[in-house]
Amino acid sequence: MRNLDDVENMVYDAASVTAMVIAAMSRTQNVRLKEIVDALVEHGHAFLKQVKLTDEEFEKGLDFLRAVGLACNDKHNEVVLLADVLGLSTLVTVLNNSDASGRTPGALLGPFYRGDSPQYAHGECIACEYSPGSPLFVSGRVLDTKGEPIPNAKVDVWQASPVGLYENQDASQPDKNLRGHFYTDGEGRFSFKSVRPAGYPVPTDGPVGALLEKQNRHPYRPAHLHFVVIAEGYATLVSQVFADDSEHLNSDVVFGVNRRLVGTFERHEPETGPKSAVDEPYYTLEYDFVLAKGTPTYPTPPIK
Ligand SMILES: [Fe+2]
């Protein structure tokens, strides 16, 4: 039999496994990739030791991840959903979008962002004429951290309907309904009309929904509008504005609510207030976005 004294890479115990894997990855040329995967292996191995994962549990976990992948298609991304309900997406957002500059906090992009939304002029409606619901008039400014307006900023908005469905989940809505983008004017202003969104449950028909049920968690998000704000010379803002009177503001299933992102949805009686021509109860929302200097980035839509 071969003398094995000179063979170093052999399994002796749990610690030797981690050391072997780290050594095997030691020639990774990309320094950042090495840092990330080394830490992933070290923390992953520590996790297995902490919970003393059994063979059966390991198989179940692998089956779960396989099911998450298989549940993805062009219109639904179960991987994003899993990251969201475990707080991973929000943690990454907070780590990368919080500082003392005074900029608006980021919030997660979510699984419903689509690229190339229709462009609208100031004040136009992003809801098609067959979209029933309480009218909502949104206005605001895009400012820098000194309070100066940022003209020509792209304000991209998307939202769920008054029954809590995005258009790609709802055959009754036309393509790209409740989605649109605007460019701010010389004073950094934008405005549009819409219908008031409802809170909604995240999709629960896949493996992530089964996990939520086992965890005895509700699947709801409070009502919100999504925004991506992009301007030359500034870091892109991906965020959400939440309705202050919404249910589940205290228990968002994806942990997105930041105090500074709660907007005042002011209710007005018919023929009163700033839009007195409206003959039914309506809402107004005024919200300013503050961008920090930086390089614009363009988020990748998780669905087509
Ligand atoms: Fe959403």
Rounded average pLDDT per 10-residue block, the chain, 304 residues: 77 90 96 98 98 98 98 89 95 85 90 90 89 93 97 97 90 92 98 96 95 98 97 96 96 95 97 93 97 94 78
Give residue 99's pLDDT.
78
225 Cα: distance to centroid of ligand 1 (angstroms):
7
Q: How many alpha carbons fall within 13 Å on the CB side of residue 248?
A: 18
Helix (H, G, I), strand (E, B) or coil at 142: strand
4 Cα: distance to centroid of ligand 1 (angstroms):
59
Give residue 3's pLDDT.
80
Longest dimension (CA), the chain: 94
How far, in Å, CA of 164 to CA of 209, rounded?
A: 17
224 Cα: distance to centroid of ligand 1 (angstroms):
6
What are the contacts of 87-96 at 24+ separation with CB within 8 A? Answer: 87/254, 87/255, 89/254, 90/254, 90/255, 90/256, 93/238
5 Cα: distance to centroid of ligand 1 (angstroms):
59
CB atoms under 10 Å from CB of 145, counted, come to: 16
Closest CA to 77 of 40, 117, 113, 108: 113
Give residue 36's pLDDT.
98
Which residues are within 8 A (CB) of 260 and not within 5 positions of it... i.e. 6 or more apart?
A: 104, 105
241 Cα: distance to centroid of ligand 1 (angstroms):
10
92 Cα: distance to centroid of ligand 1 (angstroms):
17
Cβ(225)–Cβ(259) under 8 Å? Answer: no
154 Cα: distance to centroid of ligand 1 (angstroms):
19
Phi, psi of 101 (to 5 degrees): -70, -15
Give residue 145's pLDDT.
96
Give residue 108's pLDDT.
87
110 Cα: distance to centroid of ligand 1 (angstroms):
6
**Interior angle at CA 261, CA 90 and CA 131, nearest 5:** 100
pTM for this prediction: 0.86
Lookup: tokens for 62 = 């692998």
Give residue 280's pLDDT.
94
277 Cα: distance to centroid of ligand 1 (angstroms):
30
137 Cα: distance to centroid of ligand 1 (angstroms):
18
Q: Which amino acid, 293?
A: K
148 Cα: distance to centroid of ligand 1 (angstroms):
29
